[in-house]
Every structure is written in C-alpha cells, then in structure tokens.
Amino acid sequence: EVKLVQSGAEVKKPGESLKISCQGSGYNFLSYWIGWVRQVPGKGLEWMGIIYPGDSKTKYSPSFQGRVTISVDQSNNVAYLQWSSLQASDSAMYFCARSLDSTDNWFDPWGQGTLVTVSS
C-alpha cells in the first residue's frame, strides 16, 4: 500500500524554527514528486511547492519562496518542510502529497496532515 505518514501536531512561538516530515512507504520514493499544500482552517488549499526526491529538484510558489524550505532525505524516504522563523500567519494544516505518477502532476495519495499552531 502506498502511504504518506506525516509528523505530529506542533505548537510553536513566533520566531521559532520548525521542520515537519512526511514519510513515504510502499513505492519507490525516489521516483515520484512530493508536494506540500497549506490549508488555513476554514479556507481553501494553497500549493506551496514540490520536490523530486531523485535529484532534489524543487519548485516553489512565489507566495512561499524564501519563507519555507522543502527537502528530502533520500536514504530514509522522508520529505521535509521547514521554517527558520515562524510567524502567527503560518498557523495552518500542512499536507504532503505524492504525484500520481513519475511526472509532476496531480496528487494522490496525501498524508494525513500536520497542524501547526504559532502563538505567543
């Protein structure tokens, strides 16, 4: 079974750093793109960026470029989303998702989501 399992909920203070993870299993992790999507509670989905684990090629949305870093650990089949300095506006649910096939395209399956709360 293809599965993406994300790390647990986080509560952080403004200015703190954070790295959340997405563990892939049941497929060749290096051959499928992994993307990250933000969802503020009660709002729509926002595409943040995407990475190809095979060569770490990455594309970011201009809305998130410079604010987050997407990376992978090829040895352990894990993708990461990290912030160096969180803001209250980063409070949201974050989903990782895999490309349907080996090209960069639609997402399936998705991880269960990681809730990030940033509050002083």
Partner 1 sequence: DIQLTQSPSFLSASVGDRVTITCRASQGINSYLAWYQQKPGKAPKLLIYAASTLQSGVPVRFSGSRSGTEFTLTITRLEPEDFATYSCQQVRSYPWTFGQGTKVELK
**Residues making contact with partner 1 (CB under 8 A):** 35, 37, 44-47, 50, 59-63, 95, 97, 100, 104-113
> At closest approach, how far in Å is the CB of 5 from partner 1?
11
The rounded radius of gyration (Å) of the Cα atoms in the chain is 13
Q: Strands 57-60 and 45-52: what pairing?
A: antiparallel
- CA–CA distance, 88 with 5 (Å, rounded to integer): 25
Minimum Å gap between C-beta 2 and partner 1 is 12
Task: Decide whether 30 or 115 has the Cβ nearer to partner 1.
Answer: 115
